[in-house]
Amino acid sequence: MPITAIDHIVIPVTDLDKSIDFYSKVLGFSLESENDEKTFATLRAGNQLVKLETPQRQTDLLAKEPAPGSVDICFQSTDTPAQTIAHLKSLGVPLVTGPVEKHGVHGAMTSVYIRDLDGSLIEISYYA
């Protein structure tokens, strides 16, 4: 069974509306859908989906102990680290660190790190 890609990830969040706003404005994700109870939303990031889920969501298909702030994920960007940092600063989003040289799926990359509203670590990488 060869795995070829990640289709989507689920990020536990505390406040769905504020998190949709953060991921849309800061990272440029587009809202695909959200449920009527405001406990779940699907965002698009390039060819992937990012699903946001609050602790109030009622479904059997949850992680055993989903916790807002527990995700550590890396997203690829076509913006240079300098452009990314300028964008983040214009929105008042504090940097955790960066730019730093890292190694990713395509080799050498440069990354900038931020945290989302719940404290999950978001790495934004750039391949030259």
> Do 127 and 81 meet the contact criterion of CB atoms below 8 Å apart?
no
CATH number of 8-126: 3.10.180.10
Cβ contacts of 106 within 8 Å, gap of 6 or more: 127
Domain extent listing, the chain:
8-126
* Mean pLDDT on 8-12: 94
Closest CA to 42 of 65, 64, 24, 67: 24
Mean predicted lDDT score pLDDT of the chain: 93
SS3 120: coil
pLDDT of residue 124: 97
What is the rounded CA–CA span in Å between residue 32 and residue 45?
10
Q: Does residue 20 carry a pLDDT above 80?
A: yes
pLDDT tens for 34-93 read 888 888 999 999 889 999 999 887 777 777 888 999 999 999 999 999 999 999 999 999
- Catalytic pick among 34, 53, 101, 123: 123
pTM of the model: 0.91
Q: Does 37 participate in catalysis according to the annotation?
A: no
- Choose among 25, 21, 19, 65: nearest CA to 39: 19
